[in-house]
Protein backbone atom coordinates (compact mmCIF):
# COMPACT_ATOMS: atom_id res chain seq x y z
CA UNK A 1 0.00 0.00 0.00
CA UNK A 2 2.60 2.60 -0.93
CA UNK A 3 0.95 5.87 -2.06
CA UNK A 4 -1.54 7.60 0.24
CA UNK A 5 -2.86 11.17 0.11
CA UNK A 6 -4.38 13.05 3.04
CA UNK A 7 -6.71 15.90 1.99
CA UNK A 8 -8.91 18.35 3.89
CA UNK A 9 -12.54 17.87 2.83
CA UNK A 10 -13.93 21.18 4.10
CA UNK A 11 -12.25 24.63 4.30
CA UNK A 12 -9.03 23.73 6.09
CA UNK A 13 -7.97 23.10 9.69
CA UNK A 14 -9.75 19.74 9.80
CA UNK A 15 -6.85 18.11 11.64
CA UNK A 16 -4.70 16.99 8.72
CA UNK A 17 -1.58 17.25 10.84
CA UNK A 18 -2.95 14.93 13.47
CA UNK A 19 -4.25 12.44 10.88
CA UNK A 20 -0.90 12.40 9.08
CA UNK A 21 0.92 11.90 12.36
CA UNK A 22 -1.24 8.85 13.13
CA UNK A 23 0.55 6.81 10.51
CA UNK A 24 3.81 7.64 12.25
CA UNK A 25 6.75 5.33 11.85
CA UNK A 26 5.02 3.23 9.19
CA UNK A 27 5.56 6.01 6.66
CA UNK A 28 8.89 6.22 4.82
CA UNK A 29 8.34 9.63 3.19
CA UNK A 30 5.96 12.45 4.13
CA UNK A 31 5.53 14.93 1.30
CA UNK A 32 4.01 18.40 1.18
CA UNK A 33 2.79 18.93 -2.40
CA UNK A 34 0.94 22.25 -2.41
CA UNK A 35 0.54 25.54 -0.59
CA UNK A 36 3.11 27.17 1.61
CA UNK A 37 3.21 28.71 5.05
CA UNK A 38 -0.45 29.66 4.79
CA UNK A 39 -0.94 26.20 6.33
CA UNK A 40 -0.80 25.52 10.04
CA UNK A 41 -0.79 21.88 11.08
CA UNK A 42 -0.88 21.16 14.78
CA UNK A 43 0.36 17.95 16.33
CA UNK A 44 0.41 17.13 20.03
CA UNK A 45 2.88 14.48 21.19
CA UNK A 46 3.42 13.67 24.88
CA UNK A 47 1.85 16.98 25.85
CA UNK A 48 4.21 18.90 23.53
CA UNK A 49 2.47 20.98 20.86
CA UNK A 50 4.04 21.51 17.44
CA UNK A 51 2.61 23.93 14.86
CA UNK A 52 4.07 23.25 11.43
CA UNK A 53 3.57 25.66 8.55
CA UNK A 54 5.90 24.56 5.79
CA UNK A 55 7.47 21.34 6.94
CA UNK A 56 5.54 18.08 6.56
CA UNK A 57 4.20 16.59 9.79
CA UNK A 58 6.35 13.51 9.20
CA UNK A 59 9.32 15.54 10.42
CA UNK A 60 8.26 14.49 13.93
CA UNK A 61 8.75 10.82 13.10
CA UNK A 62 12.39 9.79 13.09
CA UNK A 63 11.82 7.02 10.51
CA UNK A 64 10.10 9.21 7.95
CA UNK A 65 11.93 11.38 5.42
CA UNK A 66 10.24 14.78 5.12
CA UNK A 67 9.93 16.15 1.59
CA UNK A 68 8.85 19.49 0.10
CA UNK A 69 7.63 18.91 -3.45
CA UNK A 70 7.71 21.13 -6.54
CA UNK A 71 4.09 22.24 -5.98
CA UNK A 72 4.94 24.08 -2.75
CA UNK A 73 5.88 27.75 -2.52
CA UNK A 74 8.70 28.31 -0.03
CA UNK A 75 9.43 31.35 2.10
CA UNK A 76 13.07 30.68 2.95
CA UNK A 77 13.02 32.80 6.10
CA UNK A 78 10.06 30.79 7.42
CA UNK A 79 11.65 27.51 6.39
CA UNK A 80 14.79 28.10 8.43
CA UNK A 81 12.89 29.63 11.34
CA UNK A 82 10.83 26.45 11.48
CA UNK A 83 13.87 24.20 11.15
CA UNK A 84 15.72 26.13 13.89
CA UNK A 85 12.67 26.03 16.16
CA UNK A 86 12.37 22.25 15.82
CA UNK A 87 16.12 21.70 16.22
CA UNK A 88 16.02 23.68 19.45
CA UNK A 89 13.33 21.25 20.67
CA UNK A 90 15.47 18.23 19.84
CA UNK A 91 13.81 17.25 16.54
CA UNK A 92 16.16 15.98 13.83
CA UNK A 93 15.46 17.85 10.59
CA UNK A 94 18.59 16.75 8.75
CA UNK A 95 16.74 14.38 6.37
CA UNK A 96 14.61 17.13 4.80
CA UNK A 97 14.54 17.06 0.98
CA UNK A 98 13.42 19.99 -1.16
CA UNK A 99 12.51 19.96 -4.83
CA UNK A 100 14.75 22.06 -7.09
CA UNK A 101 11.56 23.04 -8.92
CA UNK A 102 9.68 24.43 -5.91
CA UNK A 103 8.99 28.15 -6.20
CA UNK A 104 10.18 30.77 -3.76
CA UNK A 105 8.02 33.33 -2.00
CA UNK A 106 10.09 36.51 -2.27
CA UNK A 107 9.55 39.45 0.10
CA UNK A 108 7.73 41.37 -2.66
CA UNK A 109 5.04 38.66 -2.83
CA UNK A 110 4.03 39.40 0.75
CA UNK A 111 3.94 43.14 0.08
CA UNK A 112 1.69 42.59 -2.94
CA UNK A 113 -0.56 40.13 -1.06
CA UNK A 114 -1.17 42.74 1.63
CA UNK A 115 -1.66 45.78 -0.61
CA UNK A 116 -4.02 43.99 -3.00
CA UNK A 117 -6.15 42.78 -0.09
CA UNK A 118 -6.33 46.33 1.23
CA UNK A 119 -7.18 47.60 -2.25
CA UNK A 120 -10.01 45.05 -2.62
CA UNK A 121 -11.72 46.45 0.49
CA UNK A 122 -14.93 44.53 1.16
CA UNK A 123 -14.22 42.24 -1.82
CA UNK A 124 -11.06 40.96 -0.09
CA UNK A 125 -10.38 37.23 0.10
CA UNK A 126 -9.12 37.31 3.68
CA UNK A 127 -5.78 35.74 2.74
CA UNK A 128 -3.15 34.81 5.27
CA UNK A 129 -0.96 37.63 3.93
CA UNK A 130 1.94 35.26 3.40
CA UNK A 131 2.43 36.05 -0.30
CA UNK A 132 0.91 32.78 -1.50
CA UNK A 133 -1.34 34.13 -4.29
CA UNK A 134 1.30 36.48 -5.77
CA UNK A 135 3.95 33.69 -5.71
CA UNK A 136 1.66 31.27 -7.59
CA UNK A 137 0.63 34.09 -9.97
CA UNK A 138 4.28 34.61 -10.87
CA UNK A 139 4.69 30.86 -11.34
CA UNK A 140 1.82 30.74 -13.83
CA UNK A 141 2.97 34.01 -15.44
CA UNK A 142 6.41 32.46 -15.88
CA UNK A 143 7.99 35.13 -13.73
CA UNK A 144 8.63 32.91 -10.72
CA UNK A 145 11.90 32.23 -8.90
CA UNK A 146 12.64 28.56 -8.30
CA UNK A 147 14.86 27.03 -5.64
CA UNK A 148 17.36 25.99 -8.31
CA UNK A 149 17.74 29.64 -9.39
CA UNK A 150 19.61 30.26 -6.14
CA UNK A 151 22.51 28.27 -7.58
CA UNK A 152 23.18 30.73 -10.39
CA UNK A 153 23.73 34.31 -9.17
CA UNK A 154 23.38 36.00 -12.51
CA UNK A 155 20.23 34.11 -13.53
CA UNK A 156 18.73 34.87 -10.14
CA UNK A 157 19.49 38.60 -10.47
CA UNK A 158 17.93 38.67 -13.95
CA UNK A 159 14.82 36.84 -12.81
CA UNK A 160 14.30 39.05 -9.78
CA UNK A 161 14.69 42.10 -11.98
CA UNK A 162 12.16 40.76 -14.48
CA UNK A 163 9.70 39.86 -11.72
CA UNK A 164 9.94 43.35 -10.22
CA UNK A 165 9.76 45.37 -13.39
CA UNK A 166 5.96 45.51 -13.65
CA UNK A 167 5.40 45.17 -9.95
CA UNK A 168 7.38 48.28 -9.12
CA UNK A 169 5.25 50.31 -11.53
CA UNK A 170 2.15 48.96 -9.85
CA UNK A 171 3.48 49.51 -6.36
CA UNK A 172 4.46 53.12 -7.01
CA UNK A 173 1.73 54.27 -9.38
CA UNK A 174 -1.31 52.31 -8.19
CA UNK A 175 -0.64 51.36 -4.61
CA UNK A 176 1.36 54.42 -3.64
CA UNK A 177 4.18 52.37 -2.15
CA UNK A 178 7.97 52.50 -2.44
CA UNK A 179 9.65 50.61 -5.28
CA UNK A 180 11.51 47.45 -4.21
CA UNK A 181 15.23 47.22 -5.01
CA UNK A 182 15.94 44.04 -7.04
CA UNK A 183 19.56 43.97 -5.85
CA UNK A 184 18.43 43.89 -2.23
CA UNK A 185 16.01 41.03 -2.92
CA UNK A 186 18.68 39.04 -4.76
CA UNK A 187 21.15 39.48 -1.88
CA UNK A 188 18.48 38.44 0.62
CA UNK A 189 17.66 35.25 -1.32
CA UNK A 190 21.33 34.40 -1.82
CA UNK A 191 21.93 34.62 1.93
CA UNK A 192 20.14 31.23 2.22
CA UNK A 193 21.93 29.42 -0.56
CA UNK A 194 24.55 27.60 1.55
CA UNK A 195 21.97 26.29 4.00
CA UNK A 196 19.48 25.19 1.40
CA UNK A 197 21.91 23.56 -1.08
CA UNK A 198 22.37 20.20 0.70
CA UNK A 199 18.60 19.69 0.96
CA UNK A 200 17.83 20.26 -2.72
CA UNK A 201 17.32 17.23 -4.90
CA UNK A 202 15.33 15.70 -7.75
CA UNK A 203 12.35 14.88 -5.56
CA UNK A 204 10.35 13.31 -8.40
CA UNK A 205 13.07 10.72 -9.00
CA UNK A 206 13.54 10.01 -5.28
CA UNK A 207 9.82 9.46 -4.69
CA UNK A 208 9.28 7.31 -7.78
CA UNK A 209 12.25 5.08 -6.86
CA UNK A 210 10.89 4.82 -3.34
CA UNK A 211 7.46 3.78 -4.68
CA UNK A 212 9.14 1.25 -6.99
CA UNK A 213 10.78 -0.23 -3.89
CA UNK A 214 7.43 -0.58 -2.13
CA UNK A 215 8.11 2.22 0.36
CA UNK A 216 5.17 4.02 1.94
CA UNK A 217 4.86 7.59 0.69
CA UNK A 218 2.31 9.82 2.38
CA UNK A 219 1.31 13.03 0.60
CA UNK A 220 0.18 15.53 3.22
CA UNK A 221 -2.34 17.98 1.82
CA UNK A 222 -2.50 21.55 3.03
CA UNK A 223 -5.65 23.69 2.88
CA UNK A 224 -8.62 21.73 1.56
CA UNK A 225 -10.91 20.70 -1.26
CA UNK A 226 -13.12 23.80 -0.91
CA UNK A 227 -10.07 26.09 -0.95
CA UNK A 228 -8.84 24.52 -4.22
CA UNK A 229 -8.44 27.10 -6.99
CA UNK A 230 -10.34 24.85 -9.44
CA UNK A 231 -12.81 23.01 -7.21
CA UNK A 232 -13.31 25.35 -4.27
CA UNK A 233 -15.55 28.34 -3.63
CA UNK A 234 -13.69 30.54 -6.13
CA UNK A 235 -12.59 33.33 -5.74
CA UNK A 236 -12.56 32.64 -1.99
CA UNK A 237 -9.87 30.01 -2.31
CA UNK A 238 -6.13 29.64 -2.15
CA UNK A 239 -4.04 29.76 -5.33
CA UNK A 240 -3.07 26.08 -5.59
CA UNK A 241 -4.60 22.61 -5.96
CA UNK A 242 -4.86 20.98 -2.53
CA UNK A 243 -7.08 18.16 -3.84
CA UNK A 244 -5.73 14.61 -4.13
CA UNK A 245 -4.88 15.02 -7.82
CA UNK A 246 -2.65 17.91 -6.77
CA UNK A 247 -0.32 15.39 -5.16
CA UNK A 248 0.54 14.02 -8.60
CA UNK A 249 1.36 17.45 -10.00
CA UNK A 250 2.98 18.83 -6.87
CA UNK A 251 5.32 15.89 -6.33
CA UNK A 252 5.71 14.37 -9.80
CA UNK A 253 4.07 10.99 -9.35
CA UNK A 254 1.59 9.44 -11.78
CA UNK A 255 -2.06 8.91 -10.76
CA UNK A 256 -1.56 5.13 -10.73
CA UNK A 257 0.83 5.58 -7.78
CA UNK A 258 -1.97 6.68 -5.48
CA UNK A 259 -3.58 3.76 -3.66
CA UNK A 260 -5.53 5.49 -0.92
CA UNK A 261 -7.04 8.97 -0.60
CA UNK A 262 -8.04 9.94 2.91
CA UNK A 263 -10.43 12.83 3.47
CA UNK A 264 -10.16 14.63 6.79
CA UNK A 265 -13.43 16.03 8.12
CA UNK A 266 -14.18 17.88 11.30
CA UNK A 267 -17.35 16.83 13.14
CA UNK A 268 -18.65 20.35 12.50
CA UNK A 269 -17.48 23.03 10.02
CA UNK A 270 -15.03 25.93 10.26
CA UNK A 271 -13.66 28.45 7.82
CA UNK A 272 -11.09 31.25 8.05
CA UNK A 273 -11.29 34.26 5.74
CA UNK A 274 -14.14 35.33 3.51
CA UNK A 275 -16.49 33.30 1.31
CA UNK A 276 -19.78 31.40 1.42
CA UNK A 277 -20.51 29.13 4.39
CA UNK A 278 -24.17 28.02 4.52
CA UNK A 279 -24.15 26.44 7.99
CA UNK A 280 -22.25 29.29 9.67
CA UNK A 281 -23.58 30.17 13.11
CA UNK A 282 -23.40 33.85 13.95
CA UNK A 283 -24.99 33.36 17.37
CA UNK A 284 -24.14 31.95 20.79
CA UNK A 285 -24.03 28.41 19.37
CA UNK A 286 -21.24 29.46 17.00
CA UNK A 287 -19.42 31.10 19.91
CA UNK A 288 -19.74 27.90 21.92
CA UNK A 289 -18.29 25.78 19.09
CA UNK A 290 -15.41 28.25 18.74
CA UNK A 291 -14.69 28.25 22.48
CA UNK A 292 -15.07 24.46 22.96
CA UNK A 293 -13.01 23.67 19.83
CA UNK A 294 -10.42 26.44 20.40
CA UNK A 295 -11.13 27.55 16.85
CA UNK A 296 -8.48 30.20 16.44
CA UNK A 297 -6.15 30.04 13.46
CA UNK A 298 -2.79 28.28 13.86
CA UNK A 299 -1.21 30.63 11.30
CA UNK A 300 -2.82 34.03 11.71
CA UNK A 301 -4.56 33.69 15.08
CA UNK A 302 -7.84 34.84 13.49
CA UNK A 303 -11.15 33.57 14.85
CA UNK A 304 -12.37 30.66 12.77
CA UNK A 305 -15.96 30.99 11.60
CA UNK A 306 -17.93 28.03 13.00
CA UNK A 307 -21.05 26.12 11.98
CA UNK A 308 -22.70 22.70 11.90
CA UNK A 309 -21.51 19.79 9.80
CA UNK A 310 -22.40 20.33 6.15
CA UNK A 311 -22.78 16.95 4.46
CA UNK A 312 -23.20 18.17 0.84
CA UNK A 313 -19.93 20.12 1.19
CA UNK A 314 -18.03 17.01 2.26
CA UNK A 315 -19.87 14.83 -0.25
CA UNK A 316 -18.62 17.10 -3.06
CA UNK A 317 -15.08 16.52 -1.82
CA UNK A 318 -15.66 12.75 -1.60
CA UNK A 319 -16.78 12.79 -5.22
CA UNK A 320 -13.86 14.79 -6.66
CA UNK A 321 -11.16 13.11 -4.56
CA UNK A 322 -12.54 9.56 -4.63
CA UNK A 323 -11.81 9.26 -0.93
CA UNK A 324 -11.28 5.65 0.07
CA UNK A 325 -11.44 6.56 3.77
CA UNK A 326 -12.50 9.44 5.96
CA UNK A 327 -10.86 10.53 9.20
CA UNK A 328 -13.36 12.30 11.45
CA UNK A 329 -11.82 14.78 13.90
CA UNK A 330 -12.92 16.74 16.95
CA UNK A 331 -15.89 14.52 17.72
CA UNK A 332 -15.13 15.14 21.41
CA UNK A 333 -15.92 18.85 20.91
CA UNK A 334 -19.58 18.05 20.23
CA UNK A 335 -20.07 16.54 23.70
CA UNK A 336 -22.81 18.29 25.67
CA UNK A 337 -25.32 19.24 22.96
CA UNK A 338 -28.80 17.80 23.44
CA UNK A 339 -29.36 17.67 19.69
CA UNK A 340 -26.83 18.23 16.92
CA UNK A 341 -28.04 19.68 13.63
CA UNK A 342 -26.45 18.26 10.49
CA UNK A 343 -27.03 19.89 7.10
CA UNK A 344 -28.30 17.22 4.69
CA UNK A 345 -29.47 19.38 1.75
CA UNK A 346 -30.16 23.02 0.89
CA UNK A 347 -33.07 25.18 -0.02
CA UNK A 348 -32.27 27.41 -2.99
CA UNK A 349 -34.95 29.75 -4.34
CA UNK A 350 -37.65 27.69 -2.63
CA UNK A 351 -36.40 24.38 -4.04
CA UNK A 352 -34.77 21.54 -2.16
CA UNK A 353 -31.43 20.47 -3.63
CA UNK A 354 -29.44 17.50 -2.39
CA UNK A 355 -25.95 18.49 -3.57
CA UNK A 356 -23.71 21.50 -3.42
CA UNK A 357 -25.18 23.90 -6.01
CA UNK A 358 -23.35 24.18 -9.32
CA UNK A 359 -23.10 27.99 -9.26
CA UNK A 360 -21.56 30.28 -6.69
CA UNK A 361 -24.67 32.50 -6.78
CA UNK A 362 -26.87 29.58 -5.71
CA UNK A 363 -24.35 28.51 -3.08
CA UNK A 364 -24.40 32.04 -1.65
CA UNK A 365 -28.18 31.79 -1.37
CA UNK A 366 -28.31 28.19 -0.15
CA UNK A 367 -30.14 27.75 3.15
CA UNK A 368 -29.22 24.61 5.03
CA UNK A 369 -31.88 21.96 5.61
CA UNK A 370 -31.05 20.28 8.89
CA UNK A 371 -31.58 16.83 10.31
CA UNK A 372 -31.46 16.86 14.12
CA UNK A 373 -29.43 14.04 15.62
CA UNK A 374 -29.41 13.13 19.29
CA UNK A 375 -26.37 14.37 21.21
CA UNK A 376 -24.50 12.87 24.16
CA UNK A 377 -23.20 14.21 27.46
CA UNK A 378 -20.54 11.63 28.28
CA UNK A 379 -16.86 12.56 27.98
CA UNK A 380 -15.64 10.57 24.97
CA UNK A 381 -12.02 11.76 24.98
CA UNK A 382 -10.90 8.53 26.65
CA UNK A 383 -12.66 6.21 24.19
CA UNK A 384 -10.32 4.00 22.16
CA UNK A 385 -12.82 1.54 20.61
CA UNK A 386 -15.95 2.37 18.65
CA UNK A 387 -17.98 0.31 21.12
CA UNK A 388 -16.78 2.62 23.94
CA UNK A 389 -18.89 5.45 22.45
CA UNK A 390 -22.42 6.11 23.72
CA UNK A 391 -25.10 4.84 21.30
CA UNK A 392 -25.97 8.36 20.12
CA UNK A 393 -22.30 9.10 19.32
CA UNK A 394 -22.13 5.90 17.29
CA UNK A 395 -25.31 6.89 15.48
CA UNK A 396 -23.88 10.36 14.70
CA UNK A 397 -20.77 8.80 13.13
CA UNK A 398 -22.78 6.26 11.12
CA UNK A 399 -25.14 8.95 9.84
CA UNK A 400 -22.24 11.15 8.67
CA UNK A 401 -20.76 8.15 6.91
CA UNK A 402 -24.05 7.57 5.05
CA UNK A 403 -24.45 11.21 4.14
CA UNK A 404 -20.96 11.77 2.74
CA UNK A 405 -20.78 8.41 0.99
CA UNK A 406 -17.43 7.15 2.27
CA UNK A 407 -16.45 4.99 5.22
CA UNK A 408 -15.03 6.58 8.35
CA UNK A 409 -11.80 4.80 9.21
CA UNK A 410 -10.46 6.93 12.05
CA UNK A 411 -12.00 9.21 14.66
CA UNK A 412 -10.19 11.88 16.67
CA UNK A 413 -11.38 12.31 20.25
CA UNK A 414 -8.76 14.82 21.39
CA UNK A 415 -5.67 16.64 20.14
CA UNK A 416 -3.09 14.13 21.38
CA UNK A 417 -1.54 11.44 19.23
CA UNK A 418 -3.14 8.61 21.22
CA UNK A 419 -6.65 10.15 21.33
CA UNK A 420 -8.02 8.20 18.42
CA UNK A 421 -10.45 5.40 17.59
CA UNK A 422 -9.42 3.40 14.52
CA UNK A 423 -12.02 1.42 12.59
CA UNK A 424 -9.95 0.48 9.54
CA UNK A 425 -6.21 0.56 9.03
CA UNK A 426 -5.28 3.34 6.62
CA UNK A 427 -2.38 1.41 5.12
CA UNK A 428 -3.66 -2.16 4.65
> With binding defined as CB under 6 A, does residue 75 bind ligand IMO?
no
Q: Which of 10, 11, 13, 56 binds ligand GDP (CB under 6 A)?
A: 13
Alpha carbon 144 to its chain centroid, in Å, reads: 22
Choose the catalytic residue: 21, 28, 41, 149.
41
> With binding defined as CB under 6 A, does residue 146 bind ligand GDP?
no
Of 21-29, 105-113, 195-203, 325-333: span binding ligand GDP (CB under 6 A): 325-333
* Partner from ligand GDP, Mg ion, ligand IMO, none contacting 412, C-beta within 5 to 8 A by type: ligand GDP
Alpha carbon 73 to its chain centroid, in Å, reads: 13
Size of the site for ligand IMO (CB under 6 A): 23
Of 9-17, 81-89, 97-105, 315-323: span binding Mg ion (CB under 5 A): 9-17
Task: Round to whole Å and give the CA distance between 319 and 312.
Answer: 10
Q: In the complex with ligand GDP, which residue's Cβ is closer, 14 or 75?
A: 14
> With binding defined as CB under 6 A, does residue 133 bind ligand IMO?
yes
Minimum separation from the CB atom of position 20 to Mg ion (A): 12
* Partner from Mg ion, ligand IMO, ligand GDP, none contacting 333, C-beta within 5 to 8 A by type: ligand GDP
Minimum separation from the CB atom of position 135 to ligand IMO (A): 9
> With binding defined as CB under 6 A, does residue 298 bind ligand GDP?
yes
Q: In the complex with ligand GDP, which residue's Cβ is closer, 112 or 272?
A: 272
> With binding defined as CB under 6 A, does residue 263 bind ligand GDP?
no
Picking from 412, 355, 335, the residue whose alpha carbon sits closest to that of residue 20 is 412
Residue 41 a catalytic site member: yes
Q: Which of 43, 111, 125, 251 binds ligand IMO (CB under 6 A)?
A: 125
Give the chain as a 3 state SS string: CCEEEEEECCCCCCCHHHHHHHHHHHCCEEEECCECCCCCEEEEECCEEEEECCCCHHHHCCCCEEEECCCEEECHHHHHHHHHHHHHCCCCCCCCEEECCCEECCHHHHHHHHHHHHHHHHHCCCCCCCCHHHHHHHHHCCCCCEHHHHHCHHHHHHHHHHHHHHHHHHHHHHCCCCCCCHHHHHHHHHCCHHHHHHHEECHHHHHHHHHHCCCCEEEECCCCHHHCCCCCCCCCCCCCCCCCHHHHHHHCCCHHHCCEEEEEEECCEEECCCCCCCCECCCHHHHHHHHHHCCECCCCCCECEEECEEHHHHHHHHHHHCCCEEEEECHHHHCCCCEEEEEEEEEECCEEECCCCCCHHHHHHCEEEEEEEECCCCCCCCCCCHHHCCHHHHHHHHHHHHHHCCCEEEEECCCECCCEEECCCCCC
> With binding defined as CB under 6 A, does residue 18 bind ligand GDP?
yes
> With binding defined as CB under 6 A, does residue 13 bind ligand IMO?
yes
Residue 109 a catalytic site member: no
Q: In the complex with Mg ion, which residue's Cβ is closer, 32 or 159?
A: 32
Binding residues among 363-402 for ligand GDP as defined by CB under 6 A: none
Q: In the complex with Mg ion, which residue's Cβ is closer, 36 or 40?
A: 40
Q: In the complex with ligand IMO, which residue's Cβ is closer, 8 or 66?
A: 8
> With binding defined as CB under 6 A, does residue 278 bind ligand GDP?
no
> With binding defined as CB under 6 A, does residue 14 bind ligand GDP?
yes
Neighbour count for residue 154 (Cβ, 10 Å): 8
Minimum separation from the CB atom of position 351 to ligand GDP (A): 34
* Partner from ligand GDP, ligand IMO, Mg ion, none contacting 415, C-beta within 5 to 8 A by type: ligand GDP
Per CB under 6 A, residues contacting ligand GDP are 8, 12-18, 40-42, 44, 298, 329-330, 332-333, 412-415
| Interacting residue ranges for ligand IMO, rule: CB under 6 A | 8, 12-13, 38-41, 125-128, 130, 132-133, 222-224, 227, 238-239, 272-273, 298
Query: Which residues are known catalytic residues?
Result: 13, 41
Amino acid sequence: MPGIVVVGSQWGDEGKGKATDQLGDRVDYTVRYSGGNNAGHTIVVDGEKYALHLLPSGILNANSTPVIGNGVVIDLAVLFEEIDGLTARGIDTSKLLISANAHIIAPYHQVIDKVTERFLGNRRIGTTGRGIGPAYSDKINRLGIRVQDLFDDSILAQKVEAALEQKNHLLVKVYNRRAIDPGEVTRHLLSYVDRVRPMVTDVTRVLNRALDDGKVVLFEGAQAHHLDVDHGTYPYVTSSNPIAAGACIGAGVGPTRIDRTVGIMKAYTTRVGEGPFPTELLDADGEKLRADGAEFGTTTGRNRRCGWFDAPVVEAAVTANAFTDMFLTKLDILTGWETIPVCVAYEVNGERIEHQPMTQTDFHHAKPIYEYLDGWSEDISGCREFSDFPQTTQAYVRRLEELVGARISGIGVGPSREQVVMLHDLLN
